[in-house]
Structure 1
Amino acid sequence: MSFGKGHHLHLIDGSAFIFRAYHALPPLTRKSDGLPIGAVAGFCNMLWKYIQDAGGADAPTHAAVIFDHSSKTFRNEIYPAYKANRPDLPEDLKPQFPLTREATRAFNIACIETEGYEADDIIATLACKAREAGGTATIISSDKDLMQLIGDGVDMMDPMKNKPIGPDEVMEKFGVGPDRVVDVQALAGDAVDNVPGAPGIGIKTAALLIQEYGDLETLLERAAEIKQPKRRQTLIDNAEQIRISKQLVQLDCETPLDFTLETLEVKDPDATTLLDFLAQMEFRTLTTRVAERFRVDAPVIQDKPAAVAVPAAEKLPAIDHGHYVTIREMAQLDEWIAQIRSKGAVAIDTETTGLDEMVAELVGISLSTGPATGAYIPVGHVEGSADLFSSGALAAGQLPLAQVLAALKPVLEDPAILKIGQNVKYDWKMLARHGIRMTPYDDTMLMSYALNAGEHNHGMDELAGLYLDGHKTLPIKDLIGSGKSQISFAQVPIDAASAYAAEDAEVTWRLWHAFRPLLAANAVTTAYEVLERPMVPVLADMEMAGIKVDTDHLSRMSNAFAQKMAGLEDEIHTLAGSPFNIGSPKQLGEILFDRMGLQGGKQGKTGAYSTSADVLEDLAAEGHDLPARVLDWRQISKLKSTYTDALQGHVNPDTGRVHTSYSITGAQTGRLASTEPNLQNIPVRTEEGRRIREAFIATPGHKIVSLDYSQIELRILAHVADIPALKQAFRDGIDIHAMTASQMFGVPVEGMDPMIRRRAKAINFGVIYGISGFGLARNLRIPRAEAQAFIDTYFQRFPEIRAYMDKTVADAKQQGFVRTLFGRRIMTPGINQNGPAAGGARRAAINAPIQGAAADIIRRAMIRMPDAIRDLPARMLLQVHDELVFEVEDKAVDALIQAARGIMEGAPEPAVKLAVPLVVDAGQGTNWAAAH
């Protein structure tokens, strides 16, 4: 039946519903996985109320919910600054947008959005079409921008006040009728949407002017007649700006639509579909109401399903390299860009001359928009691929890099187009060096990490084998070789490079397609979207900033270490009775256990004795000098090779700074790993470590500022294990180690023997890592029986810790994973095995929620930090476990410390309210050692 006379179309402003629901309700999360759902809950309640109230003689025959597709529309082409001042969406609202679309479809209401147009334009087009067809339309919204549409056959309804909005209400708001609202808005402008208007003219003045002159164009043509000088000059000077403003506020009634009004016919919801969605969202009250309305049983909603069903993935065709293309002409690239815009998502990968993003050059870019699609854009391949002595001239058949990047930049920065990558941080930095800040993005490596931290690695080749039916990706070694004969990717022939690179892009798209449903099914969507994905630009900016290093200081230290090692070598050789290679475990073992006859030697399968640090520490504890000196020699040797020598080679010649790289997936607990160079393992408490940190310096006029969480893991333990004594001690600011010693050994805190406090400290921190009596005995250099007695006494004094440990291990055995306070899932492989490995798996399971929560807290702080210090002359440079390091102008040090401390101490909230306060210590100086 065609739409016509007697038909009534309801147009629901979905975007307005979402924001009204979000701001009207307190934060709400799904109990089973912590997914934010407050806006979805409000949205569903509003839709249900609408359906309940939409009966009677004026009931709609047709209805649709209209959404904004993205923030970029044709208006940005008219005026690039349009809506530029709008703040970013709240992090907890972003994942709720797609859910509101699902909700609309679950209610069996048409769900409409169009790329390049705002929801208001679609509403305007549909309202006009309904009127032209002889029917009527009601706009369910209170948005002032839609009031220009009110007239014959079109009215509005405020859904919150449940009252109509007609010409009288428009006159009350704008001082003119609906047909002149656009003129008034063009003059007055809109600060929220960044519509410029006429400076100094508000709604009342604009209305008076339009009433006097009839319409905007007449007003501007006769502006010279206006008697008030300032107002006259404003209109004359800003006439063009006012006309542009009218284009911005005028709704487009010709928005292209790929459906007809007839398809919007009202249909009853399908009870099963709607109830399934509401139950999935865990909306208990609304689920009950809907079930009662349909006279069916409400589905049972559990907070934590015993077993989560994984959605069946859509079967995709096998990967076929024959579908791939090499883009050598701009016309081809333009076609791909149009395809990307049509799809709304693209997998992207960069090929470069090396692994160091700070010095590598772009060789090519690959794209995929779905299965059986892949393209490679070569931009930096050189002639002569056979050896390293090629001419360096660019190979034929490539587009200029600058031209390619200029064409891709609008797509890569378009908030309406999702970019998908594997290890996005690498590509993000490569593009950022060329002035492109890619957003929004998904990262399949981080998705895998959120799903299976601790289960397996997260590289593309392994993930393809695990999730894409055992697919084996093309090996990079087949293209560039290995060892001394290895060539740069720039030297790979373009045809061979194209197949490899395009496959990477398609595999990335397929992994994303596989992981999307798994995130929700395994209750890690929030962890991925709040803790993993936002880290990419934060870390990329830190890595690109780098930190200045005093190479002269390092050179002096290297010389001093060399002299100290030479002295130790002489001493070691004297103790051994003859020279030998101290760096040879085999020779050292023979001297210790064969020649010197020391006890405790253990031979491996090769027959060589173990000379690990644990073995040498045990021997040193028994009073043997040789192993003690070897330990000293090893420490100095490692500091020299790893830091004072190697750091000098890591100084970037262009920036004069060291640029470490952080791995987001480097540890299963969420701790970041620093590599190339590793700046997280410099000893903190030794004199040598302090001197190495002196080499990390501030630029003139600046200070290095360090902020460090105090005893964060113990505080988390007090919270998760619910230990009253520890919680109270932290609240009161008491020395926690002295308090523990007092509780354990019955000695007063005042005048306590430092040795007793040291033992309590060793136990406090050891318990977090599941330390054994043997391990504590080694740490404290005491008999094992005495150490075990200390641990037994500890658990007697704090039985809550034992209860926490037992429950955590039991949960891990049942589920195969543990969770942090913030929903991060950490797999516990081997937890159900027997034998020697079981103890390690058990200790790891106990520690993971604590160390993982500490990692989550500092991640949350880091993600919020850029906005908090945006207006300060400061930048975040390093993260070392519980410490953040900044470089800041001298004049802003105090402001930086205040802002950063506030962010760090408040990082758990609002997701988690800790039962103990977090405390952050701050220091400053011209170098890192002085600040720490």
Structure 2
Amino acid sequence: MSKVLQFACHFFAVCVSSNTPTAVYLGIMKHNGVPVDADLMKSRQQEAEQQMQRIRNEIIMLIGDVEIGANCGTKAFEDYLYQTLKLPVMKVTASNKEAADDASMIMLKEWCDANRPELSSLFTLVQECRKWSKIKSTYIDGYLKYLNSATGRIHPDFFALSTETGRMNCKTPKAQNLPRKSNDPIRVRNFIKAPEDHLILSLDFSQIELRVGAFYCRDRTMMETYKNGGDIHAATTSVIFSCTYEEAQDKHRKEYKEQRTIVKNVNFGTFYGLFPKGLQSTLKFKAGVEKSVDECEAIIRNLKSGYSALTTWQEETKRDAAGKMYIETWLGRRRYLSNIRSENWGLKSFAERCALNTPIQVTAADILKLAIVRILEGLPSRPWLKPILQIHDELTFIIPKEKLNEAVIFIRECMEQQPFPEFDLPLVAEASAGESFGNLEELEG
């Protein structure tokens, strides 16, 4: 049998065993729909409009009659910043023009704090304006637009194969991209509300990408941490900051909070080829932690030294991908990388990062899909179990209150089952439940 035919047969088998049942499951989710509180959304819509008007008025008081549009993204506003105020260009777009995105606003505010403090409040207001604009347009207007008047629910379209990494996504509306609690003044998750006498139940794979990454790179420290039920963030803290595992877990240490924050961001970028400047930017804008490029370089150096098998795996993976011009996952999915040999550093670097993240993200997606297949097989005997959402590594259901324990046991068994014979690390599914998606309480066990 030719290699092409072998690959075609394998791909067909994957479709039959995983993708087709997943598509059926996604169809069931669309049919069930996501129950929402329309009255609460309409109330929050008015609140958002009032907040946006207040912020716009304050901005106008500072800059006059400059046209700012809905979210301070107009050309007139950019010209005001860079030509009228003559502020420094902190960032440029892909077309080499002055940027005015959120990261630029943060950097400009920091520059103004030190050099032109009278302008600092402008950038705080711009960020607030954009936050409220995003919330209103995406999570309030967007949800209300697709609210089915007959069912009182939204019924998103879900797609099993629309991303290069195999991750599922949805649109009309984009119900997967819910805002973080820290950036959500109106509690969008509370819009999703269980019917009377029912609960929303959510089960989320714990650190699935880190576990898959440890499986691929075979680093002894990572694998032993997971096999022993340990704390991977504490293990990485001890590696990076040269402290004991016990010290890394001590919440009373004055360095604990900052180190833990750094390590979480480092861990989730570890397998994707961190660069010092990229880490510095991530820590600054996502975690609010200021570190110099030299400090970030030291963090990465210590990480590679402590997890030596990780570095070896990364170099071997990039070299193998460059030779084949594609990367293949453990279960046989391929992603072709046409720029992996490019002389353009940017194109080559991006292709190398794809070579590193594809096996992990695709395998994590496959593990979730295999769990979905097992859940699907159990739905006919559990007609009360209603899948409604899939967000990243999390599956969400509507269940009668009295079925909570039975549902958790069944779904957890489906998710924590060994996905394929060679996978030798434990999977953990964390469960939480509540009457609204914004008030889920963690369940023990």
The two structures have a TM-score, normalised by structure 2, of: 0.87
Amino acid in structure 2 at the alignment position of 1:875: K
Alpha-carbon shift at residue 574 of structure 1 (Å) = 4.2
**Matches of residues 141-290 of structure 1 in structure 2 within 5 Å?**
280=1
Alpha-carbon shift at residue 794 of structure 1 (Å) = 1.1
Residue 336 of structure 2: aligned partner: 827
Alpha-carbon shift at residue 632 of structure 1 (Å) = 2.8
Residue 73 of structure 2: aligned partner: 584
Residue 238 of structure 2: aligned partner: 742
1:698 matched to 2:185? The reply is no
What's the CA shift string for 1:637-662, capped at 9, x where partnerless? 11110111121121112222110111
- The structure 2 residue matched to 1:852, chosen from 362, 370, 380, is 362
Residue 319 of structure 2: aligned partner: 810
> Are the aligned partners of 2:45 and 2:136 in contact in 1 as well (CA < 8 Å)?
yes
Residue 886 of structure 1: aligned partner: 397
| Alignment CA distance shift 1:838-1:606 (3 Å) | closer
> Are the aligned partners of 2:90 and 2:107 in contact in 1 as well (CA < 8 Å)?
no
Residue 725 of structure 1: aligned partner: 221
Residue 642 of structure 1: aligned partner: 138
Residue 386 of structure 2: aligned partner: 875
| Alignment CA distance shift 1:844-1:628 (3 Å) | farther
Residue 766 of structure 1: aligned partner: 269
> Are the aligned partners of 1:818 and 1:845 in contact in 2 as well (CA < 8 Å)?
yes
**Matches of residues 369-518 of structure 1 in structure 2 within 5 Å?**
none
Cα separation, 2, equivalents of 1:745 and 1:553: 47
What's the CA shift string for 1:291-341, capped at 9, x where partnerless? xxxxxxxxxxxxxxxxx6546xxxxxxxxxxxxxxxxxxxxxxxxxxxxxx
Alpha-carbon shift at residue 690 of structure 1 (Å) = 7.3
Cα separation, 2, equivalents of 1:851 and 1:792: 24
| Alignment CA distance shift 1:608-1:780 (3 Å) | closer
> Are the aligned partners of 2:434 and 2:440 in contact in 1 as well (CA < 8 Å)?
yes
Alpha-carbon shift at residue 907 of structure 1 (Å) = 5.2
What's the CA shift string for 1:491-548, capped at 9, x where partnerless? xxxxxxxxxxxxxxxxxxxxxxxxxx8613xx42332222222222111111111111
| Alignment CA distance shift 1:556-1:802 (3 Å) | same
| Alignment CA distance shift 1:761-1:518 (3 Å) | closer
Residue 754 of structure 1: aligned partner: 257
| Alignment CA distance shift 1:631-1:842 (3 Å) | farther
Cα separation, 2, equivalents of 1:605 and 1:810: 29
1:535 matched to 2:41? The reply is no
- The structure 2 residue matched to 1:866, chosen from 376, 380, 384, is 376
| Alignment CA distance shift 1:687-1:833 (3 Å) | closer
Alpha-carbon shift at residue 567 of structure 1 (Å) = 2.8
**Matches of residues 61-100 of structure 1 in structure 2 within 5 Å?**
none
Residue 929 of structure 1: aligned partner: 438
Residue 610 of structure 1: aligned partner: 99
Cα separation, 1, equivalents of 2:92 and 2:220: 48
> Are the aligned partners of 2:233 and 2:260 in contact in 1 as well (CA < 8 Å)?
yes
Cα separation, 2, equivalents of 1:846 and 1:607: 29
| Alignment CA distance shift 1:643-1:808 (3 Å) | same
Residue 27 of structure 1: aligned partner: none
Alpha-carbon shift at residue 579 of structure 1 (Å) = 4.5
> Are the aligned partners of 2:388 and 2:397 in contact in 1 as well (CA < 8 Å)?
yes
Structure 1: tracts of 5 or more residues without a match: 1-279, 281-307, 312-516
Cα separation, 2, equivalents of 1:879 and 1:605: 33
Amino acid in structure 1 at the alignment position of 2:108: L
Residue 898 of structure 1: aligned partner: 409
Alpha-carbon shift at residue 621 of structure 1 (Å) = 4.7
| Alignment CA distance shift 1:597-1:827 (3 Å) | same
- Aligned length, in residue pairs: 417
What's the CA shift string for 1:547-605, capped at 9, x where partnerless? 11111111111122222222332343345466431433422322222233322356669
Residue 594 of structure 1: aligned partner: 83
What's the CA shift string for 1:679-710, capped at 9, x where partnerless? 11111333527711111111112111010111
| Alignment CA distance shift 1:831-1:808 (3 Å) | same
- The structure 2 residue matched to 1:560, chosen from 44, 47, 64, is 47
Residue 117 of structure 2: aligned partner: none
- The structure 2 residue matched to 1:776, chosen from 279, 285, 292, is 279
SS at match of 2:176: coil
SS at match of 1:887: strand
> Are the aligned partners of 1:690 and 1:929 in contact in 2 as well (CA < 8 Å)?
no
What's the CA shift string for 1:748-777, capped at 9, x where partnerless? 222342101111111111223333211211
| Alignment CA distance shift 1:607-1:857 (3 Å) | closer
SS at match of 2:181: coil
Residue 157 of structure 2: aligned partner: 661
> Are the aligned partners of 1:861 and 1:907 in contact in 2 as well (CA < 8 Å)?
no
Cα separation, 2, equivalents of 1:531 and 1:903: 14
Cα separation, 2, equivalents of 1:877 and 1:604: 38
Which protein has greater RCO, CA pairs closer than 8 Å, 6+ apart?
Answer: 2
Amino acid in structure 2 at the alignment position of 1:763: V
Amino acid in structure 2 at the alignment position of 1:710: S
1:843 matched to 2:339? The reply is no
SS at match of 1:686: helix
What's the CA shift string for 1:156-195, capped at 9, x where partnerless? xxxxxxxxxxxxxxxxxxxxxxxxxxxxxxxxxxxxxxxx
Amino acid in structure 2 at the alignment position of 1:728: E
Amino acid in structure 1 at the alignment position of 2:347: A
Cα separation, 1, equivalents of 2:388 and 2:11: 29
SS at match of 1:524: helix
Alpha-carbon shift at residue 815 of structure 1 (Å) = 1.9
> Are the aligned partners of 1:694 and 1:928 in contact in 2 as well (CA < 8 Å)?
yes
Cα separation, 2, equivalents of 1:791 and 1:537: 43
Cα separation, 2, equivalents of 1:602 and 1:549: 40
What's the CA shift string for 1:380-415, capped at 9, x where partnerless? xxxxxxxxxxxxxxxxxxxxxxxxxxxxxxxxxxxx
Cα separation, 2, equivalents of 1:550 and 1:808: 48
Alpha-carbon shift at residue 606 of structure 1 (Å) = 8.0
Cα separation, 2, equivalents of 1:533 and 1:644: 33
Amino acid in structure 1 at the alignment position of 2:126: V
SS at match of 1:821: coil
SS at match of 2:327: strand
Cα separation, 2, equivalents of 1:732 and 1:605: 46
Amino acid in structure 2 at the alignment position of 1:813: A
SS at match of 2:184: helix
Amino acid in structure 2 at the alignment position of 1:648: L
Which has the greater radius of gyration?
1
> Are the aligned partners of 1:526 and 1:823 in contact in 2 as well (CA < 8 Å)?
no
Residue 383 of structure 1: aligned partner: none
SS at match of 1:614: helix
Cα separation, 2, equivalents of 1:721 and 1:780: 25
Alpha-carbon shift at residue 633 of structure 1 (Å) = 1.8
- The structure 2 residue matched to 1:550, chosen from 37, 54, 75, is 37
Cα separation, 1, equivalents of 2:95 and 2:379: 57
Cα separation, 1, equivalents of 2:273 and 2:51: 37
Cα separation, 1, equivalents of 2:341 and 2:94: 28
The two structures have a TM-score, normalised by structure 1, of: 0.43
Cα separation, 2, equivalents of 1:840 and 1:605: 15
SS at match of 1:533: helix
- The structure 2 residue matched to 1:652, chosen from 135, 145, 148, is 148
SS at match of 1:697: coil
TM-align CA RMSD:
2.3
Amino acid in structure 2 at the alignment position of 1:888: I
SS at match of 2:196: coil
